[in-house]
Structure 1
Amino acid sequence: MWSALAAETAHGAAHAAAPEAFYATAEFWVAIGFLIFIALIGKRAYRLVVVGLDERAERIRARLEEAGRLAEEAQTLLATYERKQRDAAGEAEAIVADARREADRLAEQASAELQRSLKRREELALERIAQAEASAVAEVRARAVDVAMQATQNLLIQKLTPAQSNALIDTAIAELPGKLH
């Protein structure tokens, strides 16, 4: 029994003298915890970005649908005016030449008014689409800058040693008087 205890003690001493396994160090577990933390935060941030972009896409889609609806209304209005124009032309043939000229004048005026109205609606719809696109691009760019800044900050925090950090601070302090004037 004593020999077994002595062998066990010698075995334990041999392990104590051997270097620790990489997974048995506190640094390893801190790094693992940090990576898990980054993964969880990154996943949430990704979700927030995706939800924001999806909401923006839905608003743009709604605006595009509204523009499509306006275009359909314009087509319906055009068809109505064209039908009225054909009806007026049919009636105008039954009326004397003077009434025929008056009907043609009214039809031309209605067509010109319709074209102006359609042109205004089309320009308004195109303007809304352009504004929505510009707003979406600006929002995506701003979001990308925020994400890049956060990623850069995280990389600097992870990669800078205390000596490098102190050197950067000293350099910034030295350059500060020149930048204030």
Structure 2
Amino acid sequence: MALTERPKDWHFVVPLPEAKDSQHRFSQVWTLDLKEPLSCGAQEFPFPSPVEVSVKTQRTPEGADVLIGITGEVATECRRCCAPLTVAIQQEFMYSYILQSEDVGKVQEEEELFDDSNRVVLPVPWLGSGIDVTDLVWECLVVALPLYATCPEGCIEIDSLLPAEDRMDPRFLILADLMDEEKQKGGK
């Protein structure tokens, strides 16, 4: 059965350097052996090999930065010609945990500080010695999926090999059969 939500047994916690230590970084790596495909966007994505998740943390004056990397392969099909493909995934996602201020306006100013960067800002009331990134890892894995993969060298031009009356997207053959049945029944 395909995964449609985060597996219940996932638990990823990364350590954080002490609050005063902005130079030190911690890293953690996990290997996910996904036996079931992941279902997303009306497609199923099997993983032919394990997926590596790397997480790096660093303290900042505002709170902490978390960099999540997803590396692996996913099986899919070309969106143009329906040929099977194996697509490499190598994505990085940046999250900035910022400590909420007593002053609501200050939180908005802190969020604007990161507004133009490629990171997600997560306001938090406090930061301990570690961060649970389980939900973020799931989010990153889903976002990293190639929903519109196409053949890297270009699709085989099936249309050019067929006579004009046979040129049809293979995904619409079922609809063509249904239309033929309706015409035989006397429908329009």
Pick the structure with greater CA Rg: 1
Same fold per TM (> 0.5)?
A: no
TM-score, length basis structure 2: 0.22
Greater helix share, structure number: 1
Which structure's relative contact order is higher, taking Cα pairs within 8 Å and 6+ residues apart?
1
Greater strand share, structure number: 2
TM-score, length basis structure 1: 0.23
